[in-house]
A and B are shown apart, each in its own frame.
Chain A
Amino acid sequence: ELKVEQNPLFLSMQEGKNYTIYCNYSTTSDRLYWYRQDPGKSLESLFVLLSNGAVKQEGRLMASLDTKARLSTLHITAAVHDLSATYFCAVDEAGGGADGLTFGKGTHLIIQP
């Protein structure tokens, strides 16, 4: 059974600081997704990582994937309040996208002004 673990589950940080969210998974997969969810809203796609060594960046967020270590990271640079949200990683075990995703429990991120 695939397990996806995020670390930390809760994170409070100050604006301007850097931090990394970690996502470990228990089976071989080269498809990993990062989503953002604001309170009361649905999930918004951030990144799709499709191969070992993949790195994607959007603004202050950068995601990477190491399939050998079964690890993805979401790095936040110089955090701003607007990035406060819950971040989920999700793994596509089957690889074709047809069998659904297995999600981590989410990292609740609060960025203090």
Chain B
Amino acid sequence: DVKVTQSSRYLVKRTGEKVFLECVQDMDHENMFWYRQDPGLGLRLIYFSYDVKMKEKGDIPEGYSVSREKKERFSLILESASTNQTSMYLCASSSLGGLEFFGPGTRLTVL
């Protein structure tokens, strides 16, 4: 079974803090994605990566950055967290042309 894990299920941070969200997949997938999910808005793509050290902006990249130093790991970074970044963050991975598998999600609250 494909397994996508995220470092935290729940996270509470203060405005201005630097926040790291980690995602690891164990199926040697080329593609990895970060989405945020907000009530009434569905899922929106923040960043994605199709290879190590490669990254592409999704639909809402502002205020975020990413890092992919190893194939299995994709990190989402909030350089200076703000309250409007309070959300559920979902990581996903897929093989080339394959189905996206999602992690359990991290519910981030920024106070």
Contact = CB atoms under 8 A, between A and B. Distances in A.
Contacts of B48: 98-100
Interface in A65-113: 88, 90, 96-106
A88 B43 contact: yes
A48 interface: yes
B101 A97 contact: no
B104 A42 contact: yes
B104 A98 contact: no
A54 interface: no
Contact of B97 (A33, A41, A96): A96
Interface string B79-111: 000000000001000111111111111000000
Question: Which size class do B's interface residues fall under?
Answer: 20 to 34
Interface residues of A, number: 21
A48 B102 CA distance: 15
A10 B25 CA distance: 33
A42 B45 contact: no
Contact of A45 (B31, B44, B97, B99): B99
A98 B45 contact: no
Contact of B42 (A44, A98, A104): A104
Nearest to B49: A98
A42 B42 contact: no
Given A96-B96, A100-B33, A104-B42, A42 B103 contact: yes
Interface of A: 33, 35, 41-45, 48, 88, 90, 96-106
Interface of B: 30-31, 33, 35, 40-45, 48, 50, 56, 58-59, 90, 94-105
